[in-house]
Amino acid sequence: MARMEYCDPAQASERTREILSKNRNANIFRMLAHSPDYFEQYCRLGRAIRFKGELDPIVRELAITRTGILCEAPYEVVAHKRIGKGVGVTDEQNAALDNWKAAACFDETQRAALAFTDEVVAMNKPADATFNAIAGKLTPGALVELQLSIGFYIMTSKFLETFAIDLQPVTEVVD
């Protein structure tokens, strides 16, 4: 159960209701909507991460889901395993993310991105060897997008856990 009430869309501004509606009134967005200005900007950056840029969407979703796992944010993990499937992450890959180092289902770029993710989350920055491994596989733009994706979803995971955001019922689709 969430630590405080979710924003009531009926009490929100027209713009906030519009953004909530575009995001299916999902619990995370209903909590973020308590701060309408931040909510709008959060959604803008989240959409840029998910729908713009040059980072391969499979690499992005593997990194985001791994970030949720490391931050112990089940809402994030559930949501992004589903989103990942929509961009080509396999069921085998989703199942292997808890112990990806022992799995054979990831290519070299995906493995380098997962190692980078692990170190950014756990150590705040990757070791030189880890940075150089992924930098050799991505363009500078894609590498920036990978790091910003990880950072955005660290923040999102911490938000979810701080406010104890409730998982959506299975019948609901959530981003």
pLDDT tens for each residue of the chain, 175 residues long: 999 999 999 999 999 999 999 999 999 999 999 999 999 999 999 999 999 999 999 999 999 999 999 999 999 999 999 999 999 999 999 999 999 999 999 999 999 999 999 999 999 899 999 999 999 999 999 999 999 999 999 999 999 999 999 997 755 444 5
**Residues 6 or more apart from 41 whose CB is under 8 A from it?**
none
Say which amino acid occupies 148: L
Of the candidates 146, 122, 151, the one whose C-alpha atom is nearest the C-alpha of residue 133 is 146
CATH architecture of 57-162: Up-down Bundle (1.20)
Report the pLDDT value the prediction gives residue 168, as an integer from 0 to 100. 79
